[in-house]
Amino acid sequence: MNNLKAISINVAIPFFVALIFAFLVYYQEKIPSFIFDIMPYIFYVLSAIVIVISWHFNRNRFLFVLFPLVLLYIGFEFLPASKATLLFKYISIIFPLHLLIFLILSERGLFSLWGNLKIAFVVLELAIIVWFVEYPNSMILDIFNIKLFVFDSFPLSDVSIVVGLFILFIMLSLVLFNHFLMYNGSFLLILISLYATLYFVKINNVIELGFIAIVLIILVLLIREAYRLAFYDELTSLPGRRALIEDMAKLGRKYTLAMCDIDHFKKFNDTYGHDTGDEVLKMVATKLANVGGGGKAYRYGGEEFTLLFPSKDVDESYIYADILRENIAKSPFVVRNKKSAKKIFINISAGIVQNSAKDKDPFATMKRADNALYKAKDAGRNKVVKA
């Protein structure tokens, strides 16, 4: 299960965006009317920005989510009331499923085989919706209008409520147990914002405000994704070297720094393969991420990691680093093959130092920590050496 703090952070950011727009809906009489006149333009501009950023960072799932959303908005704006009502019925069921599908599908190149299949799927999906809006089918409408609950969910149909609850359950499960928290949390709030928009559709300007909220949630997610790509290691999800350099520039007068690496990692890779080696790196990184004492872990490169303890002296930091080393040493790692499973234990060594007046900058402190790491290796490994 995911860490409660991580869940809270990743859900709170899109929730805050949605909450702002909920307040705008509630207090819209206090907003100057010209703001609502330019809202369609705001929606289109934000959508264009998201499309450009998505294209640039090769995050194509947002293109597949946003393009239908823009078409839906155009449909609500320009279709006659009878056809807009039909569009409402169909998308209240189909678009939530669309969201779930493109949340689960992994990123592939837009013009790869999988990308072409996704394009074909979206085109087919839109064609079916256009067909049923233009040529309503009474049998399908009867299915959509089936009464399942004693309460009235108008204007949403009971079928759309069932579909929404089903997708909500899956997305909540992904938030709790899947490690792509940033995406899962944002898509969960997109789903909730969509249903809130559709349910309160009769309130003035709800469609405009709700769709802008959804686009802003996607835009914020893209900005966070760009930050993650720049500052976080893809394999271990720890902050990378660039993040370490940024954080070292913010350090105060006192701090402690530790350099760590996995003992005999090259031999492990040669024996069990690089895929298993990557799993070891992930396991060790998960342990390092939970270092106490206000410390923060970074992947420095390869099998080497850095621990940074701002405002902490070396004696206090040493305790947390050594507890971490012991926890890793006692945690079994299971190597599996087709015939058997073998339990092994991973060790790390570390060198830890406190900055001094002789250090010109944090990089000089890091060099001393690196020297202490070599001493830990020479002393037999699976040790933390304090310099």
The catalytic site residues sit at 303
**Which residue, chain included where needed, has tokens 């899956």?**
170
Strand, helix or coil for residue 104: helix
**Which residue, chain included where needed, has tokens 């000089």?**
364
**Cβ atoms within 10 Å of 298's Cβ, excluding its own:** 27
Amino acid at 239: P
Distance CA(18)–CA(41), nearest Å, equals: 19
CA of 199: how far to CAs of 6, 25, 65, 71, 87, in Å? 30, 13, 20, 19, 14
Residue 255: phi and psi, rounded to 5, are -165, 165
Sheet containing 384-386: which strands, arranged edge to edge?
A: 296-301, 304-310, 255-262, 348-354, 384-386
**Cβ atoms within 10 Å of 39's Cβ, excluding its own:** 16
CB 307 within 8 A of CB 297: yes
Q: What residues pair up with 332 in beta bridges, in sequence order?
A: 345
Distance CA(166)–CA(169), nearest Å, equals: 5
User: Among candidates 295, 72, 108, 288, which has minimal Cα distance to 194?
Assistant: 72
**Cβ atoms within 10 Å of 61's Cβ, excluding its own:** 21
Strand, helix or coil for residue 364: helix
CB 119 within 8 A of CB 105: no
